[in-house]
Homo-oligomer: A and B are copies of this chain.
Amino acid sequence: MSLRIIATGGTFDKHYDEIAGQLDFGASHLPQVISRARITAEVILEELKLLDSLEMQDADRQRILACCQNSTQQAIVIVHGTDTMQLTAQVLGQALQDKTVVLTGAMIPYEIANSDALFNFGFACGVAQVLPPGVYVAMNGQIFAWNKVAKNRSAGVFEPIR
């Protein structure tokens, strides 16, 4: 089965800039992550502008939606910041019916010790191949429908909402 990965930034892909002394965005880690995963199916990586999800605007979300609509792959994984993941999920969930789109991200950047990034990415790549068409958030080892999830920021976990 063929997979489309869309990189949009977020904590998952932050990079430590040693001159500025802070976390920022450089090149996406996803080419390295995909190679490390030894995926033998076809994988298409599409890199959008890498953004902290708190800085995402409507236009950025529309761009992600367009990528999903134009995708020739049925199974799509979106790597996204956690803070507004549910907002992007809502934009996509209201507009997409025919593909399986799974948003994921990380609480700790891929390049920092004890990161959940690789687990979450594996989880998302798996369920994107199996779930029925629709838009989902995959975090904390769980699958949430796009309109039934919220990030609990003080606890740092995703939770179901009614």
- Residues of chain A whose beta carbon lies under 8 Å from any beta carbon of chain B: 1, 3, 11, 16, 18-19, 21-23, 33, 36-41, 43, 83, 107-109, 111-116, 118-127, 129-131, 138, 140-143, 153-159
Given that A127-B126, A127-B129 are known contacts, is A39 also in contact with B156, CB under 8 Å in the complex?
A: no
* Complex CA distance for A143 and B39, rounded to whole angstroms: 11
A16 and chain B: residue at smallest CB distance: B112
In contact, A119 and B36 (Cβ under 8 angstroms): yes
Which 4 residue pairs of A and B lie closest in terms of their CB atoms, listed nearest first?
A: A122-B122, A39-B141, A126-B126, A119-B122
In contact, B121 and A143 (Cβ under 8 angstroms): no
List residues of chain B with CB within 8 A of the CB of A124: 122, 126
